[in-house]
Chains A and B, each alone.
Chain A
Amino acid sequence: MPAPAQIRPAQAAVVRRRPLRRRTRWVGLAFAALPLAVYALVVLVPLGQSVQYSFFKWDGVSASTWVGFDNYVSFVTDPVLRSTFGHVLVLIGFFALLPIVLGLLSAALLTRAKQPGMAVYRWIFFLPQVMTTVVIALVFKRIYAPDGPLNQALRAVGLDSFAKTWLGDFTWALPALGLIGTWVTFGFCMVLFISGTSAIAPELYEAARMDGAGPVREFFAVTLPGLRGQLAIALTLTITASLRTFDLVWITTHGGPGTSTLTPAVALYKAAFQNPQIGLAAAIGVVMALLCLVIAVVITRVSERD
């Protein structure tokens, strides 16, 4: 289990006041100047402009008009745009909850005892994480095609009635996309939980086993409480990822059929690059950024309670 060793620096780094610090803070600013400048140029200035654009009606080329909060209002009142939040809720089930459950399960199985071959499983489960989304989208477009492997497999085992057009089906397109997210994300959750588990004191497990706890009770009594920090991280990362889903939807369904798989990020892209409504696009971006921030803060707060 060498992997968690890498994370240790971050976890073990306890604040130690260095006498060095006080004297060198201006030197530090000089060191940080270059990264800060690049960051400000590429992220902060455009971010501020995004906030500003969001108060204008602008087609991206001709003169703009100040419209106050109109763009925000239409984001919330337009039924199609509003529906994107509902889609995000569904996606959260597939991008966040399901991967966390599967991640917990696989982490529990992998850390239960030192058995040969565990590193291989871990390697496999994590593999989707390193693949580029374009390739993942191609892989699954193929899987979900009407005559693709999934339908072929269903027909082969006599489940013909379950064969669907998946990505072209109003009911199934969103869950089908969601499952791609589950496939990609659960390995990430697993690794997170494995490292968390390895930090739990072995005595706790010994004590539980002394009490005659089976694997299931042991998991709920010892492992799960010990993973609270990791669970909070996993939740924040995966929920904000659901909110931002773009490439995958764009390459597979463009938000269709109808608008059944439209996400805020896809709506933003369409507003910015297809139908020139830059102000609306900016407003969507600002709302998304704020939501991410709120989600992060709320989950931190809740996980810190008691």
Chain B
Amino acid sequence: MSGVTDPRTWSERHNGVKMSVPKAIAGVAAGLALSLGLAACSPGGGTTGKSDAAPSTVSTDIAGAGTVTLKLTDFWGAAEGEWIKNVITGFQTKYPNVTIQRTTEDWGQLNSTLNLQLQDAGGPDIATANNGWQSLGTLAKGNLVRNLDAYAKAYNWDTEVPTTIARQNKFSTDFKTMGSGSWFSTPMARTSLIGLYYNADKLKTLGIDPPQSLAELEAAAVKAKAAGEVPFEYGSLDSSTTVLLGVQALLADKKKLNDYIYDDPSVKAADVGMTEAITLVKKWADAGWFPKSFEGIDYQTAVANYVGGKGVFRWEYTGSLGLSAAQQGHFGYVQLPQQSGSTTVGVGAAPGAMVISSKSAHPDVAAAFLDYMMSPEAGQAAVDKGLVPAMSPDVKVPATSLSLTGESAAAAKLDSDDGYVPYFDWSSPTMLDTIGQNLQLVFAGKLTADKFTAAVDKDRDAFLAQQG
């Protein structure tokens, strides 16, 4: 940024060399023409790898695959990082001929450079992508990641993975719709939900039971506020949207919300509770239920504040608070039922979509590893690290962990209610930016709830239109 340029034009003059401006421009033009000539073909032509077709012959014989080294790049730190390390160890113990080299990167960094890394010959064999059009859809469309249908068949993923979760990893092979078609990524024996955390100690002091409905939650917030507590710990500096999406899941029609995100143009944002959700969140903000100056607090700070004892409730992705074993006894988690009835709908997905690079020389081994990531062993490894398990009904949750008990119960409830909805920002590549920016505008009183909903539609419809 101090990134100024240079005084060449002037220093040139100081040097006494008279370089007239037209001449300089002519030189520049010549340079441009030259480099244009060097790059005459249209971009993107040479970057696509293999065809869409899934490989016809796949092998599940990993022990017989010889010595194989796979490169894995993920965005997991802390407990999640320890979990994947243990999963890798487990897999390598099972198949001593396989070595998995793991690299971890910052989420934002990996997310913005994964498409470049996957085009690299030395890039990762396996990586964590972000579901939706922004990342996974683009990678699949560009043939950067493998179509996994043959492996899905070999490992029975279609029967073993719950449909609502399986859909999240599928795209039609013409890449016009998401949510059906071929497998391009896999989930894992873990899930990440958006739900409500509560500080159990504070609730006890305030004499409130953990809320079981939206109405009870609001009543609890009034009480907390009156007692001088901050009802919800939250910061919007970097556009955190968990509170909005968490609330939306309580208000929206489940089917319509799924359809909206999976590219059905006939459903509008107003049909999926968006206006009601943003109105409610704004009401909470105006009621002073968020921290003072929450507009100036970034996500990480808000998380740390909450874990450090500020605020009573927090809408959060499971697994993102980074609670230590001791802290897990002091924070609880609930998946509130929908406002309209008794069913539970929750935003949830695997915390990362596992993809295999089209350039990987050992897709069979990579697929076996992805399958292992969905195994009960991996689920138990998750619980051991205090993470929410999925697809692993028999895992043992330590009773001392209040939060994990709540989270696991929530996941089980969503399984039985078939109540998963995907993250809203999967609906278009720019949706995360759009809701984040407009949320800040609403908080500042610069945008009404209706206009917010309209902006959401405009973003998604523009995307669908250019999908054709």
Contacts and interface: CB of A to CB of B under 8 A. Distances in A.
Interface of A: 10-11, 13-15, 40, 44-49, 51-53, 56, 58-64, 66, 128-129, 133, 136, 144-146, 164-170, 181, 184-185, 188, 229, 232-233, 236-238, 240-241, 244-248, 253-259, 270, 273-276, 278, 292-293, 296-297, 300-301
B436 A45 contact: no
Given A51-B36, A256-B437, 4 more contacts: A66-B42, A170-B440, A274-B429, A275-B429
B43 interface: yes
14 contacts: A59-B141, A61-B47, A61-B143, A66-B42, A146-B296, A165-B237, A168-B236, A233-B7, A237-B5, A237-B6, A240-B5, A256-B238, A256-B436, A258-B441
Contacts of A247: 1
A61 to B, nearest CB: 2
Question: Which 6 A-B pairs rank lowest in CB-CB distance, beginning with the nearest?
Answer: A61-B142, A48-B35, A165-B296, A168-B295, A146-B293, A237-B4
Nearest to A64: B44
B89 interface: no
Contacts of B237: 165, 167-168, 253, 256-257
Contacts of B10: 229, 232-233, 236, 300
B204 interface: no
Contacts of B294: 165, 168
Contact of B14 (A10, A48, A53): A10
Nearest to A232: B10
Contacts of A236: 5, 7, 9-10
B69 interface: no
Nearest to A249: B1
A293 B433 CA distance: 31
Contacts of A146: 292-293, 296-297
Contacts of B438: 258
A221 B448 CA distance: 55
A233 B14 CA distance: 12
B11 interface: yes
B34 interface: yes
B336 to A, nearest CB: 28
Nearest to A273: B112
B43 A52 contact: yes
B430 interface: yes
A47 B1 contact: no
Interface of B: 1-7, 9-11, 13-17, 21, 25, 28, 31-32, 34-39, 42-45, 47-48, 111-113, 115-116, 119, 134, 138-139, 141-144, 236-239, 292-297, 301, 429-430, 433, 436-438, 440-441, 443-444, 446
A34 to B, nearest CB: 18
A10 B42 CA distance: 43
B358 to A, nearest CB: 10
Contact of A238 (B4, B37, B433): B4
B381 to A, nearest CB: 32
Contacts of A229: 10, 14
A5 B370 CA distance: 65
A62 B441 contact: no
Contacts of B139: 61
Contacts of A238: 4
A167 B296 contact: yes
A203 B9 CA distance: 29
Given A300-B9, A300-B10, A52 B433 contact: no
A40 B35 CA distance: 8
A97 B14 CA distance: 24
Contacts of B3: 241, 244, 246
A237 B7 contact: yes
Contacts of A44: 31, 34-35
Contact of B4 (A188, A257, A273): A188
Contacts of B119: 61
Given A259-B437, A274-B112, A276-B115, A241 B1 contact: yes
B32 A165 contact: no
A4 to B, nearest CB: 13
A15 B16 contact: yes
Contact of B141 (A48, A61, A259): A61
A107 B47 CA distance: 54
B35 A47 contact: yes
Contact of B142 (A47, A53, A59, A128): A59
A61 B48 contact: yes
A136 B239 CA distance: 22
Nearest to B295: A168
A13 B16 contact: yes
A48 B32 contact: yes
B446 A258 contact: yes
B1 A49 contact: no
A63 B48 contact: yes
Contacts of B39: 45, 48-49, 52
A40 B437 CA distance: 39
Contacts of A274: 111-112, 134, 429, 433
Contact of A165 (B48, B142, B293, B446): B293
A256 B34 CA distance: 39
Contacts of A301: 21
B35 A169 contact: no
Nearest to A128: B2
Contacts of A56: 42-44
Contacts of B34: 44, 48
A162 to B, nearest CB: 13
Nearest to B447: A258
Contacts of B112: 273-274
B142 A60 contact: yes
A63 B138 CA distance: 12
A133 B1 contact: yes
A241 B134 CA distance: 31
